[in-house]
Amino acid sequence: MDAGNGQLPRPEALGPRIMVLGPTNSGKSTLTEALGMRLGVAAIHLDRLRHIPGTDWEQRPDAEFAALHDAAIAEPAWIMDGSYSVLMPQRVARATGIIVLDENLAVRTLRYLRRSLSRRRRAGGLEGDRDSVKWEMLAWLWKTRNKAEGTRQSAIQTGLPRVFCRSTRELKVLYAAWGLSQADL
């Protein structure tokens, strides 16, 4: 289903284990929090599993991250945001639905700068909120600017129920249709 054409399933139609995918700063974590609250299931942010709390995004060892990831997907219900393609196969095998978000590079870059400079708590942020602007992240935003179509095609290939939102406008349609809070959009 596509938020752009107004044909949205109810969120429950995506099942109890929903993956939220999309490029950096497309709104995944905020949607994951709102949807988790609406459905009464755990909101899991892969960035929090991948990175050590209280740091400025220092990564955990790969084996530790994989163990945390696999324990999280073993739960009976979750909304999980993030890609981390190396662990994608086992997540897809457990998922019951997929939401793919996208947004243009300018909006995503502004969101990144705002979140990194604001020092306020945000959905998906690490404990300690020690974000800082990093050249590596700005380069990653540029590098991944055209990845959404590939992510949508991968979602289609899973055969799972899915929803696509290609812009903030479409994301707002989804929030309204599902009765979610539009804070931080």
- Write the pLDDT tens digit of every residue in 67-99: 999 999 999 999 999 888 899 999 999 999 999
CATH number of the domain that residue 164 is part of:
3.40.50.300
Answer whether residue 19 is part of any domain.
Answer: yes
Q: Is the pLDDT of residue 185 over 90?
A: no
Task: State the pLDDT confidence band at 4, using cuts at 50, 70 and 90.
Answer: very low
Cα–Cα distance, 72 to 63 (Å, whole number): 14
Residue 7: its pLDDT value, please? 72
Q: Return the residue matching tokens 């993030």.
A: 82
Exposed / middle / buried, residue 151 (Cβ in 10 Å: 0-12, 13-18, 19+): buried
Angle at 164 between CA 151 and CA 175, to 5 degrees: 135
- Asked whether residue 185 is assigned to any structural domain, the reply reads no
Domain membership of residue 126 (yes or no) is yes
The parent domain of residue 44 ranges over: 3-178
- DSSP string of 152-178? HHHHHHHT--EEEE-SHHHHHHHHHHH
In a domain, 161, yes or no: yes
pLDDT at 113 over 70: yes
Evaluate whether residue 184 is within a structural domain. Answer: no
Domain membership of residue 43 (yes or no) is: yes
24 within domain boundaries: yes
Phi, psi of 80 (to 5 degrees): -130, 125
Q: What's the total number of domains in the chain?
A: 1
pLDDT per residue as tens digits for the range 22-56:
877 778 888 999 999 999 999 999 988 998 887 77
**Residue 1 pLDDT > 70:** no
Tens of pLDDT, residue by residue over 129-175, are 556 666 676 677 677 767 777 788 889 999 999 999 888 889 889 99
Residue 72: its pLDDT value, please?
A: 97
Q: Is residue 183 part of a domain?
A: no
